[in-house]
């Protein structure tokens, strides 16, 4: 990927599969970015059977900042292998990802992310807040409350709550992608575990202003899966992910596993119950002031404390 003689300031990995209905919106949002450096556009199309590639080719030569690189796509590779070859093909100092059915809502996204990483060497990944656009009911909500600051996240925090959410929010140092273990791509790997691996040796910067849009639609690789199925898939991958990270985050993965098991049970009773359970255990304690927790820990009799903790952590299945 990147080295000292890199021709490009930035690579954008455009990941597509039968996205003809959405790709124009994605490309318009990319070409409207105010980033003034040289951009390598790496097109990792996973053997689309529609007109996705023709739509992309129409943008060639329209902007001098962009150089196009198309990866061979004679056979369908699947999500994980497509990302593996896409990351390997990027030669920029930084690598941003844009999935063909998502788009960026701010023209300043790339500039702000590059600036952030230039100023924060403790981070190898800069993500942004994003909107979730559900095509089924045309609803649009931000992942977290809009802000103008940033947060620094650890891998353990990402395991508890995948705030980064999707690849289209991400901009990486190329060196961090180069350091990903080869075993990662032997597993079914989504953005979550990739970013956990990136965060093993650094922090994640999360800009609180929404600058990307994640589209939920029936053809999405993840969003088409029913909620209970999403929980079950995530649960099934935890042992492999725990081994992949050398059990460095074992306690965090086990805590998540308990929460997911409880959420699956409730989701089978009703999807909304499962969503509440999956969210509650990871977030409820943040609403309790630290001083209250300190006093509680010091003064509460052990038996009462145990009962209370079981109540507030039911979402974990404790």
Residue 223's nearest CA partner among 310, 133, 151 is: 133
Residue 235's nearest CA partner among 218, 216, 217, 255 is: 255
Give me the pLDDT at residue 301, please: 53
| Domain 10-216 classification at class level | alpha beta
How far is Cα 275 from Cα 271, in angstroms, rounded to an integer?
6
Give me the pLDDT at residue 230, please: 83
Give me the pLDDT at residue 141, please: 95
Q: Which residues contact 11 (CB under 8 A, 6 or more apart)?
A: 1, 39, 40, 41, 42, 90, 91, 92, 94, 95, 96, 174
- Whole-angstrom CA distances from 137 to 140, 155, 215 are 9, 33, 12
How far is Cα 165 from Cα 187, in angstroms, rounded to an integer?
19
> Is residue 54 within a helix (H) or strand (E), and if so which, with residue range?
helix 52-57
Alpha helices in 134-270 (DSSP H): 155-160, 174-178, 191-198, 227-244, 250-269
**Domain limits, the chain:** 10-216, 227-316
How far is Cα 125 from Cα 97, in angstroms, rounded to an integer?
12
The owner of tokens 């699956």 is 264
- Whole-angstrom CA distances from 274 to 1, 215, 268, 315 are 41, 22, 8, 9
Indicate the pTM of the whole model.
0.82
Give me the pLDDT at residue 270, please: 66
Mean pLDDT, 10 residues at a time, the chain of 318 residues: 66 97 98 98 96 98 98 88 97 98 98 99 99 91 96 98 97 98 92 97 98 84 64 94 97 96 85 51 43 43 48 42
């Amino acid at each position: 990927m990147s080295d000292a003689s890199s021709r490009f300031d930035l690579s954008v990995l455009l990941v597509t599969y039968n996205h003809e209905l959405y790709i124009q919106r994605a490309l318009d949002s990319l070409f409207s970015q105010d980033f003034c450096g040289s951009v390598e556009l790496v097109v990792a199309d996973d053997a689309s059977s529609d007109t996705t590639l023709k739509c992309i080719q129409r943008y060639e030569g329209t902007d001098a900042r962009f150089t196009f690189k198309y990866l061979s796509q004679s056979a369908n590779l699947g999500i994980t292998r497509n990302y593996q070859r896409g990351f390997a093909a990027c030669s920029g100092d930084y690598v941003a990802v844009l999935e063909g059915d998502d788009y960026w809502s701010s023209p300043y996204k790339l500039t702000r992310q590059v600036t952030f990483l230039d100023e924060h060497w403790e981070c190898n990944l800069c993500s942004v807040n994003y909107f979730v656009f559900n095509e089924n009911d045309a609803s649009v909500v931000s992942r977290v409350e809009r802000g103008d600051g940033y947060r620094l996240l650890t891998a353990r925090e990402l395991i508890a709550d995948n705030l980064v959410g999707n690849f289209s929010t991400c901009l990486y140092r190329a060196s961090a992608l180069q350091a990903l273990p080869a075993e990662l791509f032997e597993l079914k790997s989504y953005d979550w575990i990739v970013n956990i691996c990136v965060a093993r040796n650094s922090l994640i910067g999360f800009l609180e202003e929404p600058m990307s849009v994640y589209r939920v639609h029936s053809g999405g690789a993840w969003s088409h899966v029913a909620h209970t199925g999403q929980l079950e898939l995530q649960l099934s991958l935890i042992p492999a992910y725990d081994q992949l990270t050398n059990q460095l985050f074992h306690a965090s993965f086990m805590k998540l596993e308990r929460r997911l098991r409880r959420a699956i049970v409730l989701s089978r009773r009703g999807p909304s119950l499962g969503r509440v359970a999956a969210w509650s255990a990871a977030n409820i304690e943040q609403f309790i002031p630290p001083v209250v927790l300190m006093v509680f820990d010091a003064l509460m009799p052990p038996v009462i404390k145990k009962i209370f903790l079981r109540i507030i952590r039911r979402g974990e299945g404790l």
